[in-house]
Chain A
Protein backbone atom coordinates (compact mmCIF):
# COMPACT_ATOMS: atom_id res chain seq x y z
CA UNK A 1 0.00 0.00 0.00
CA UNK A 2 2.84 2.39 0.87
CA UNK A 3 6.01 2.58 -1.22
CA UNK A 4 9.06 4.76 -0.86
CA UNK A 5 9.68 7.30 -3.58
CA UNK A 6 12.06 5.65 -6.08
CA UNK A 7 14.76 8.34 -5.92
CA UNK A 8 14.95 8.15 -2.12
CA UNK A 9 14.98 4.37 -2.24
CA UNK A 10 17.92 4.44 -4.65
CA UNK A 11 19.88 7.00 -2.67
CA UNK A 12 19.39 5.18 0.61
CA UNK A 13 20.28 1.82 -0.90
CA UNK A 14 23.46 3.33 -2.28
CA UNK A 15 24.39 4.66 1.15
CA UNK A 16 23.58 1.31 2.77
CA UNK A 17 21.71 2.78 5.74
CA UNK A 18 19.62 -0.25 6.61
CA UNK A 19 18.32 -1.05 10.10
CA UNK A 20 17.26 -4.55 11.13
CA UNK A 21 14.47 -4.90 13.67
CA UNK A 22 11.51 -7.21 14.33
CA UNK A 23 7.75 -6.86 13.91
CA UNK A 24 5.87 -9.30 16.13
CA UNK A 25 9.05 -11.40 16.20
CA UNK A 26 9.50 -11.50 12.42
CA UNK A 27 12.71 -10.02 11.00
CA UNK A 28 12.18 -6.75 9.14
CA UNK A 29 14.31 -3.94 7.80
CA UNK A 30 13.94 -0.19 7.59
CA UNK A 31 16.00 2.84 6.62
CA UNK A 32 18.06 4.62 9.26
CA UNK A 33 16.07 7.63 10.40
CA UNK A 34 12.67 6.05 9.82
CA UNK A 35 10.15 6.43 12.59
CA UNK A 36 8.80 3.12 13.88
CA UNK A 37 5.51 3.98 12.21
CA UNK A 38 7.13 4.70 8.84
CA UNK A 39 9.08 1.46 9.15
CA UNK A 40 5.87 -0.48 9.80
CA UNK A 41 4.13 1.11 6.83
CA UNK A 42 7.11 0.40 4.59
CA UNK A 43 6.87 -3.24 5.69
CA UNK A 44 3.21 -3.43 4.78
CA UNK A 45 1.83 -3.23 8.33
CA UNK A 46 -0.98 -0.68 8.06
CA UNK A 47 -3.06 -1.70 11.06
CA UNK A 48 -0.79 -1.48 14.10
CA UNK A 49 -3.28 -2.02 16.91
CA UNK A 50 -6.89 -2.63 17.90
CA UNK A 51 -8.77 -0.22 20.17
CA UNK A 52 -9.06 -0.97 23.89
CA UNK A 53 -12.88 -0.90 24.15
CA UNK A 54 -14.47 -1.96 20.84
CA UNK A 55 -11.50 -3.83 19.38
CA UNK A 56 -11.64 -1.98 16.05
CA UNK A 57 -8.45 -2.00 13.94
CA UNK A 58 -6.42 1.22 13.86
CA UNK A 59 -3.52 2.47 11.79
CA UNK A 60 -1.29 5.56 11.80
CA UNK A 61 -3.06 8.74 10.78
CA UNK A 62 -1.32 12.03 11.53
CA UNK A 63 2.34 10.91 11.61
CA UNK A 64 3.20 13.87 13.83
CA UNK A 65 2.39 12.87 17.40
CA UNK A 66 -1.13 14.17 17.68
CA UNK A 67 -3.65 11.41 16.90
CA UNK A 68 -2.35 8.57 19.09
CA UNK A 69 -3.56 6.04 16.55
CA UNK A 70 -0.07 4.63 15.85
CA UNK A 71 0.32 3.09 19.34
CA UNK A 72 2.50 -0.03 19.45
CA UNK A 73 4.56 -1.97 21.97
CA UNK A 74 8.25 -1.11 21.63
CA UNK A 75 10.88 -3.17 23.43
CA UNK A 76 8.24 -4.35 25.90
CA UNK A 77 6.58 -1.03 26.70
CA UNK A 78 3.00 -0.65 25.54
CA UNK A 79 1.17 2.37 24.09
CA UNK A 80 4.28 4.00 22.59
CA UNK A 81 3.61 6.47 19.80
CA UNK A 82 5.40 4.82 16.89
CA UNK A 83 5.64 8.04 14.91
CA UNK A 84 7.64 9.70 17.70
CA UNK A 85 10.31 7.00 18.05
CA UNK A 86 13.12 6.31 15.57
CA UNK A 87 13.56 2.68 14.64
CA UNK A 88 16.82 1.29 16.04
CA UNK A 89 18.86 -1.83 15.28
CA UNK A 90 17.46 -4.86 17.09
CA UNK A 91 14.32 -3.06 18.23
CA UNK A 92 11.37 -5.35 19.03
CA UNK A 93 8.17 -3.76 17.73
CA UNK A 94 4.85 -5.46 18.45
CA UNK A 95 1.43 -4.59 17.15
CA UNK A 96 -0.92 -4.09 20.06
CA UNK A 97 -4.08 -6.05 20.59
CA UNK A 98 -6.56 -4.00 22.67
CA UNK A 99 -5.53 -2.57 26.02
CA UNK A 100 -1.90 -2.34 27.03
CA UNK A 101 -0.75 -4.56 29.88
CA UNK A 102 0.20 -2.72 33.05
CA UNK A 103 3.45 -4.64 33.33
CA UNK A 104 4.57 -3.99 29.79
Chain B
Protein backbone atom coordinates (compact mmCIF):
# COMPACT_ATOMS: atom_id res chain seq x y z
CA UNK B 1 0.00 0.00 0.00
CA UNK B 2 0.94 3.62 -0.49
CA UNK B 3 3.08 5.04 2.26
CA UNK B 4 1.87 8.24 3.92
CA UNK B 5 3.24 10.90 1.65
CA UNK B 6 1.36 14.01 2.63
CA UNK B 7 2.76 14.65 6.07
CA UNK B 8 -0.39 13.37 7.69
CA UNK B 9 -2.49 16.10 6.03
CA UNK B 10 -5.49 15.12 3.95
CA UNK B 11 -8.60 16.71 2.51
CA UNK B 12 -10.61 13.93 4.14
CA UNK B 13 -9.97 11.18 6.65
CA UNK B 14 -12.43 8.30 6.46
CA UNK B 15 -12.59 6.44 9.75
CA UNK B 16 -13.46 2.81 9.09
CA UNK B 17 -12.21 0.46 6.39
CA UNK B 18 -15.23 -1.80 5.92
CA UNK B 19 -17.75 -1.60 3.11
CA UNK B 20 -19.13 1.82 4.09
CA UNK B 21 -15.72 3.39 4.66
CA UNK B 22 -14.19 1.85 1.54
CA UNK B 23 -17.07 2.96 -0.68
CA UNK B 24 -16.84 6.47 0.78
CA UNK B 25 -13.06 6.63 0.36
CA UNK B 26 -13.36 5.37 -3.21
CA UNK B 27 -15.97 8.00 -4.06
CA UNK B 28 -14.09 10.82 -2.33
CA UNK B 29 -10.82 10.02 -4.07
CA UNK B 30 -12.62 9.74 -7.38
CA UNK B 31 -14.00 13.24 -6.74
CA UNK B 32 -10.43 14.52 -6.49
CA UNK B 33 -9.96 14.60 -2.72
CA UNK B 34 -6.79 13.46 -0.99
CA UNK B 35 -7.97 10.75 1.35
CA UNK B 36 -6.68 8.69 4.26
CA UNK B 37 -8.66 5.67 5.37
CA UNK B 38 -8.02 4.84 9.02
CA UNK B 39 -8.81 1.26 9.93
CA UNK B 40 -8.40 -1.10 12.82
CA UNK B 41 -6.45 -4.34 12.49
CA UNK B 42 -7.42 -7.86 11.49
CA UNK B 43 -9.29 -8.56 14.70
CA UNK B 44 -11.71 -5.65 14.33
CA UNK B 45 -15.42 -6.44 14.58
CA UNK B 46 -15.94 -6.60 10.84
CA UNK B 47 -19.52 -7.00 9.62
CA UNK B 48 -18.25 -6.48 6.06
CA UNK B 49 -16.73 -9.96 6.19
CA UNK B 50 -19.83 -11.63 7.56
CA UNK B 51 -22.75 -10.30 5.58
CA UNK B 52 -25.20 -12.00 3.24
CA UNK B 53 -24.39 -9.98 0.07
CA UNK B 54 -27.92 -9.05 -0.97
CA UNK B 55 -28.55 -5.85 -2.90
CA UNK B 56 -32.10 -5.69 -1.65
CA UNK B 57 -35.02 -3.32 -2.12
CA UNK B 58 -38.33 -5.00 -1.34
CA UNK B 59 -39.88 -4.28 2.03
CA UNK B 60 -37.41 -1.61 3.13
CA UNK B 61 -38.54 1.82 4.32
CA UNK B 62 -41.75 1.29 6.29
CA UNK B 63 -41.63 4.28 8.65
CA UNK B 64 -39.18 6.23 6.48
CA UNK B 65 -40.17 6.44 2.80
CA UNK B 66 -36.97 8.42 2.09
CA UNK B 67 -35.04 5.26 2.96
CA UNK B 68 -37.06 3.27 0.41
CA UNK B 69 -36.16 5.87 -2.23
CA UNK B 70 -32.50 5.91 -1.18
CA UNK B 71 -32.38 2.11 -1.34
CA UNK B 72 -34.03 1.97 -4.76
CA UNK B 73 -31.60 4.57 -6.08
CA UNK B 74 -28.62 2.50 -4.96
CA UNK B 75 -30.11 -0.62 -6.52
CA UNK B 76 -30.66 1.32 -9.78
CA UNK B 77 -27.06 2.58 -9.74
CA UNK B 78 -25.46 -0.72 -8.73
CA UNK B 79 -24.94 -2.11 -12.22
CA UNK B 80 -23.05 1.00 -13.32
CA UNK B 81 -21.09 0.94 -10.07
CA UNK B 82 -20.02 -2.67 -10.72
CA UNK B 83 -19.00 -1.68 -14.26
CA UNK B 84 -16.85 1.20 -12.96
CA UNK B 85 -15.15 -1.12 -10.48
CA UNK B 86 -14.46 -3.71 -13.17
CA UNK B 87 -13.03 -1.13 -15.57
CA UNK B 88 -10.80 0.27 -12.85
CA UNK B 89 -9.61 -2.88 -11.09
CA UNK B 90 -10.23 -5.76 -13.49
CA UNK B 91 -12.24 -7.49 -10.76
CA UNK B 92 -15.84 -8.59 -11.15
CA UNK B 93 -17.98 -8.27 -8.02
CA UNK B 94 -20.58 -10.55 -9.64
CA UNK B 95 -23.55 -8.22 -9.32
CA UNK B 96 -26.75 -9.79 -10.67
CA UNK B 97 -30.27 -8.41 -10.52
CA UNK B 98 -32.55 -11.32 -11.40
CA UNK B 99 -35.26 -10.20 -8.95
CA UNK B 100 -35.61 -11.60 -5.44
CA UNK B 101 -38.15 -13.58 -3.47
CA UNK B 102 -39.37 -13.67 0.09
CA UNK B 103 -40.99 -17.10 0.38
CA UNK B 104 -43.52 -17.75 3.17
CA UNK B 105 -44.37 -20.86 5.15
CA UNK B 106 -47.89 -20.00 6.32
CA UNK B 107 -50.95 -18.18 4.96
CA UNK B 108 -50.84 -15.85 7.98
CA UNK B 109 -47.24 -14.89 7.25
CA UNK B 110 -48.00 -14.37 3.57
CA UNK B 111 -50.99 -12.15 4.38
CA UNK B 112 -48.93 -10.17 6.93
CA UNK B 113 -46.18 -9.73 4.34
CA UNK B 114 -48.69 -8.57 1.70
CA UNK B 115 -50.12 -6.08 4.20
CA UNK B 116 -46.65 -4.77 5.05
CA UNK B 117 -45.84 -4.23 1.38
CA UNK B 118 -49.14 -2.42 0.90
CA UNK B 119 -48.61 -0.18 3.94
CA UNK B 120 -45.08 0.54 2.73
CA UNK B 121 -46.33 1.67 -0.65
CA UNK B 122 -49.25 3.65 0.78
CA UNK B 123 -46.93 5.99 2.67
CA UNK B 124 -46.95 9.63 1.57
CA UNK B 125 -43.90 10.47 -0.59
CA UNK B 126 -43.19 6.79 -1.14
CA UNK B 127 -41.29 6.03 -4.32
CA UNK B 128 -43.18 3.42 -6.33
CA UNK B 129 -41.60 0.22 -7.54
CA UNK B 130 -43.05 -3.00 -8.87
CA UNK B 131 -43.58 -6.04 -6.67
CA UNK B 132 -45.88 -9.03 -6.69
CA UNK B 133 -47.58 -11.17 -4.09
CA UNK B 134 -47.52 -14.70 -5.50
CA UNK B 135 -49.46 -17.79 -4.59
CA UNK B 136 -47.76 -21.14 -4.43
CA UNK B 137 -48.33 -22.13 -8.06
CA UNK B 138 -47.08 -18.82 -9.45
CA UNK B 139 -44.05 -18.92 -7.16
CA UNK B 140 -43.25 -22.46 -8.19
CA UNK B 141 -42.96 -21.46 -11.84
CA UNK B 142 -40.08 -19.16 -10.83
CA UNK B 143 -38.59 -21.28 -8.02
CA UNK B 144 -39.22 -24.89 -9.01
CA UNK B 145 -37.54 -26.40 -5.97
CA UNK B 146 -39.81 -25.04 -3.22
CA UNK B 147 -40.97 -27.51 -0.59
CA UNK B 148 -44.55 -28.50 0.22
CA UNK B 149 -44.73 -26.06 3.17
CA UNK B 150 -44.21 -22.96 1.02
CA UNK B 151 -47.57 -21.23 0.50
CA UNK B 152 -46.35 -18.36 -1.69
CA UNK B 153 -44.23 -15.28 -1.34
CA UNK B 154 -43.42 -11.80 -2.54
CA UNK B 155 -41.25 -10.94 -5.51
CA UNK B 156 -39.52 -7.73 -6.51
CA UNK B 157 -37.66 -7.46 -9.83
CA UNK B 158 -35.24 -4.87 -8.39
CA UNK B 159 -33.64 -7.27 -5.91
CA UNK B 160 -30.24 -8.73 -6.59
CA UNK B 161 -26.98 -9.84 -5.02
CA UNK B 162 -23.23 -9.78 -5.46
CA UNK B 163 -20.04 -11.34 -4.11
CA UNK B 164 -19.58 -9.09 -1.08
CA UNK B 165 -16.17 -10.38 -0.01
CA UNK B 166 -14.93 -9.58 -3.48
CA UNK B 167 -16.65 -6.19 -3.26
CA UNK B 168 -14.60 -5.34 -0.17
CA UNK B 169 -11.43 -6.56 -1.83
CA UNK B 170 -12.24 -4.68 -5.05
CA UNK B 171 -12.91 -1.42 -3.22
CA UNK B 172 -9.61 -1.76 -1.36
CA UNK B 173 -7.79 -2.36 -4.64
CA UNK B 174 -9.66 0.57 -6.17
CA UNK B 175 -8.77 3.03 -3.44
CA UNK B 176 -5.14 1.95 -3.69
CA UNK B 177 -5.19 2.74 -7.42
CA UNK B 178 -6.77 6.13 -6.64
CA UNK B 179 -3.97 7.01 -4.25
CA UNK B 180 -5.89 6.73 -0.98
CA UNK B 181 -3.56 6.15 1.97
CA UNK B 182 -4.91 3.04 3.62
CA UNK B 183 -3.80 2.96 7.25
CA UNK B 184 -4.58 -0.28 9.07
CA UNK B 185 -3.87 -0.50 12.81
CA UNK B 186 -4.89 3.15 13.15
CA UNK B 187 -7.73 2.80 15.63
CA UNK B 188 -8.84 6.36 16.39
CA UNK B 189 -8.63 7.16 20.08
CA UNK B 190 -9.45 10.85 20.03
CA UNK B 191 -10.70 13.44 17.55
CA UNK B 192 -10.15 17.15 18.06
CA UNK B 193 -11.78 19.86 16.00
CA UNK B 194 -9.56 22.91 15.81
CA UNK B 195 -8.68 25.65 13.33
CA UNK B 196 -11.37 24.45 10.96
CA UNK B 197 -9.84 20.98 10.68
CA UNK B 198 -9.58 17.71 12.55
CA UNK B 199 -6.75 16.04 14.40
CA UNK B 200 -7.02 12.32 15.10
CA UNK B 201 -4.94 10.61 17.75
CA UNK B 202 -4.62 7.03 16.57
CA UNK B 203 -2.83 3.84 17.57
CA UNK B 204 -0.50 4.53 14.61
CA UNK B 205 0.20 8.22 15.23
CA UNK B 206 -1.46 11.53 14.54
CA UNK B 207 -3.44 12.21 11.36
CA UNK B 208 -4.86 15.57 10.31
CA UNK B 209 -7.60 16.27 7.79
CA UNK B 210 -9.88 19.07 6.71
CA UNK B 211 -12.95 16.84 6.84
CA UNK B 212 -13.71 13.51 8.44
CA UNK B 213 -16.24 10.81 7.65
CA UNK B 214 -17.17 8.47 10.48
CA UNK B 215 -17.88 5.14 8.79
CA UNK B 216 -16.71 3.06 11.70
CA UNK B 217 -19.76 0.81 12.10
CA UNK B 218 -20.05 -0.31 15.70
CA UNK B 219 -17.34 2.10 16.80
CA UNK B 220 -19.41 5.04 15.58
CA UNK B 221 -21.27 5.09 18.89
CA UNK B 222 -17.96 5.91 20.64
CA UNK B 223 -16.54 8.27 18.02
CA UNK B 224 -19.54 10.40 17.00
CA UNK B 225 -19.89 12.33 20.29
CA UNK B 226 -16.26 13.49 19.95
CA UNK B 227 -17.38 15.79 17.11
CA UNK B 228 -20.90 16.71 18.25
CA UNK B 229 -22.61 13.87 16.38
CA UNK B 230 -24.61 10.90 17.54
CA UNK B 231 -24.59 7.32 16.22
CA UNK B 232 -26.55 5.22 18.70
CA UNK B 233 -25.89 1.87 17.04
CA UNK B 234 -26.06 -1.56 18.59
CA UNK B 235 -24.84 -4.96 17.44
CA UNK B 236 -27.42 -7.46 16.26
CA UNK B 237 -26.04 -10.91 15.60
CA UNK B 238 -26.92 -13.02 12.57
CA UNK B 239 -25.81 -16.54 11.70
CA UNK B 240 -24.76 -17.62 8.23
CA UNK B 241 -24.16 -21.12 6.87
CA UNK B 242 -22.49 -21.85 3.54
CA UNK B 243 -22.55 -25.15 1.70
CA UNK B 244 -20.11 -26.77 -0.68
CA UNK B 245 -20.01 -25.33 -4.17
CA UNK B 246 -22.83 -26.70 -6.26
CA UNK B 247 -23.81 -26.39 -9.92
CA UNK B 248 -26.15 -23.38 -10.36
CA UNK B 249 -29.76 -24.29 -9.57
CA UNK B 250 -31.16 -21.37 -7.55
CA UNK B 251 -31.47 -18.55 -10.04
CA UNK B 252 -32.97 -15.92 -7.74
CA UNK B 253 -31.82 -14.72 -4.32
CA UNK B 254 -34.24 -14.99 -1.42
CA UNK B 255 -34.02 -13.28 1.95
CA UNK B 256 -33.11 -16.58 3.61
CA UNK B 257 -31.20 -18.54 1.00
CA UNK B 258 -29.12 -17.57 -2.01
CA UNK B 259 -26.62 -19.30 -4.26
CA UNK B 260 -23.38 -17.41 -4.78
CA UNK B 261 -21.71 -16.78 -8.11
CA UNK B 262 -19.19 -19.51 -7.26
CA UNK B 263 -21.86 -22.06 -6.38
CA UNK B 264 -21.98 -22.17 -2.57
CA UNK B 265 -25.42 -21.84 -1.03
CA UNK B 266 -25.65 -19.27 1.77
CA UNK B 267 -28.31 -19.67 4.45
CA UNK B 268 -29.00 -16.87 6.87
CA UNK B 269 -31.33 -14.36 8.44
CA UNK B 270 -31.28 -14.96 12.17
CA UNK B 271 -31.58 -12.05 14.60
CA UNK B 272 -30.10 -12.13 18.10
CA UNK B 273 -29.60 -9.34 20.61
CA UNK B 274 -26.51 -10.54 22.45
CA UNK B 275 -24.06 -7.63 22.42
CA UNK B 276 -20.56 -8.04 21.03
CA UNK B 277 -20.58 -11.82 20.95
CA UNK B 278 -19.75 -13.59 17.68
CA UNK B 279 -19.80 -17.08 19.20
CA UNK B 280 -21.53 -19.52 16.91
CA UNK B 281 -24.63 -21.08 18.48
CA UNK B 282 -25.30 -24.54 17.01
CA UNK B 283 -28.97 -24.30 18.01
CA UNK B 284 -29.42 -21.21 15.87
CA UNK B 285 -27.48 -22.69 12.96
CA UNK B 286 -29.76 -25.75 13.13
CA UNK B 287 -32.87 -23.59 13.17
CA UNK B 288 -31.90 -21.60 10.08
CA UNK B 289 -30.76 -24.78 8.30
CA UNK B 290 -34.08 -26.45 9.08
CA UNK B 291 -36.04 -23.46 7.83
CA UNK B 292 -33.94 -23.37 4.64
CA UNK B 293 -34.72 -27.05 4.03
CA UNK B 294 -38.45 -26.33 4.41
CA UNK B 295 -38.08 -23.71 1.67
CA UNK B 296 -35.87 -25.90 -0.53
CA UNK B 297 -35.83 -29.57 0.58
CA UNK B 298 -33.04 -30.50 -1.82
CA UNK B 299 -30.61 -28.41 0.25
CA UNK B 300 -30.71 -31.27 2.75
CA UNK B 301 -28.37 -33.25 0.52
CA UNK B 302 -25.60 -30.66 0.56
CA UNK B 303 -22.62 -30.61 2.88
CA UNK B 304 -21.96 -27.53 4.98
CA UNK B 305 -18.42 -26.20 4.67
CA UNK B 306 -18.53 -23.15 6.95
CA UNK B 307 -20.77 -21.28 9.34
CA UNK B 308 -20.27 -18.10 11.27
CA UNK B 309 -21.98 -15.36 13.21
CA UNK B 310 -21.57 -11.65 12.46
CA UNK B 311 -22.87 -8.43 13.97
CA UNK B 312 -25.19 -6.10 12.06
CA UNK B 313 -24.80 -2.39 12.81
CA UNK B 314 -28.30 -1.32 13.80
CA UNK B 315 -29.68 2.09 14.67
CA UNK B 316 -32.76 2.23 16.95
CA UNK B 317 -35.14 2.33 13.96
CA UNK B 318 -32.95 0.32 11.58
CA UNK B 319 -32.54 3.20 9.10
CA UNK B 320 -29.17 4.78 8.25
CA UNK B 321 -27.69 7.89 9.80
CA UNK B 322 -26.14 10.48 7.50
CA UNK B 323 -25.39 13.82 9.07
CA UNK B 324 -22.91 16.68 9.24
CA UNK B 325 -22.00 18.01 12.67
CA UNK B 326 -23.46 21.40 13.59
CA UNK B 327 -20.74 22.11 16.15
CA UNK B 328 -17.83 20.70 14.14
CA UNK B 329 -18.66 21.41 10.48
CA UNK B 330 -16.79 19.11 8.13
CA UNK B 331 -17.38 16.08 10.38
CA UNK B 332 -19.83 13.63 8.83
CA UNK B 333 -21.27 10.35 10.01
CA UNK B 334 -22.41 7.59 7.66
CA UNK B 335 -23.67 4.41 9.22
CA UNK B 336 -26.13 1.72 8.16
CA UNK B 337 -26.61 -2.03 8.23
CA UNK B 338 -26.98 -2.41 4.46
CA UNK B 339 -23.40 -1.66 3.46
CA UNK B 340 -23.68 -3.84 0.35
CA UNK B 341 -27.01 -2.54 -0.96
CA UNK B 342 -26.07 1.08 -0.32
CA UNK B 343 -22.47 0.85 -1.57
CA UNK B 344 -23.39 2.41 -4.93
CA UNK B 345 -25.01 5.37 -3.21
CA UNK B 346 -22.14 5.84 -0.80
CA UNK B 347 -19.59 5.81 -3.62
CA UNK B 348 -21.48 7.65 -6.36
CA UNK B 349 -23.81 10.05 -4.51
CA UNK B 350 -22.86 10.61 -0.88
CA UNK B 351 -19.08 10.84 -1.32
CA UNK B 352 -19.27 13.47 -4.11
CA UNK B 353 -21.60 15.60 -1.95
CA UNK B 354 -19.16 15.47 0.96
CA UNK B 355 -16.28 16.24 -1.41
CA UNK B 356 -18.25 19.28 -2.60
CA UNK B 357 -18.92 20.45 0.93
CA UNK B 358 -22.22 19.24 2.37
CA UNK B 359 -25.20 16.92 2.34
CA UNK B 360 -28.04 19.33 1.60
CA UNK B 361 -31.63 19.28 2.78
CA UNK B 362 -32.61 15.97 1.22
CA UNK B 363 -30.58 14.18 3.91
CA UNK B 364 -32.40 15.81 6.83
CA UNK B 365 -34.60 12.74 7.41
CA UNK B 366 -31.43 10.67 7.99
CA UNK B 367 -30.20 12.87 10.83
CA UNK B 368 -29.78 11.22 14.23
CA UNK B 369 -31.85 14.07 15.65
CA UNK B 370 -34.84 11.83 14.90
CA UNK B 371 -33.84 9.78 17.98
CA UNK B 372 -33.85 12.78 20.27
CA UNK B 373 -37.57 13.50 20.17
CA UNK B 374 -38.88 13.74 23.77
CA UNK B 375 -41.07 10.78 24.62
CA UNK B 376 -44.78 11.62 24.67
CA UNK B 377 -46.33 11.41 28.11
Contacts and interface: CB of A to CB of B under 8 A. Distances in A.
A102 B245 contact: no
B262 A100 contact: no
Interface in B247-270: 247-249, 262-263
Contacts of B298: 102-103
A53 B263 CA distance: 8
A101 B245 contact: no
A40 B324 CA distance: 66
Interface residues of A, number: 10
Query: Which secondary structure characterizes the binding site on chain A?
Result: loop
B246 interface: yes
Interface in B6-64: none
Given A102-B246, A102-B247, A52 B301 contact: no
Given A100-B244, A100-B246, A79 B263 contact: no
B302 interface: yes
A100 B299 CA distance: 13
Interface string A51-92: 011000000000000000000000001010000000000000
Contacts of B263: 52-53, 99
A100 B244 CA distance: 8
A102 B262 contact: no
A59 B298 CA distance: 28
B303 interface: yes
A2 B247 CA distance: 32
A98 interface: yes
A52 B249 contact: no
A101 B247 contact: yes
Given A99-B245, A102-B246, A102-B249, A79 B262 contact: no
A103 B262 CA distance: 17
B247 A79 contact: no
A52 B244 CA distance: 10
Listed from nearest, the 3 A-B pairs whose CB atoms lie closest are A52-B245, A99-B247, A99-B263
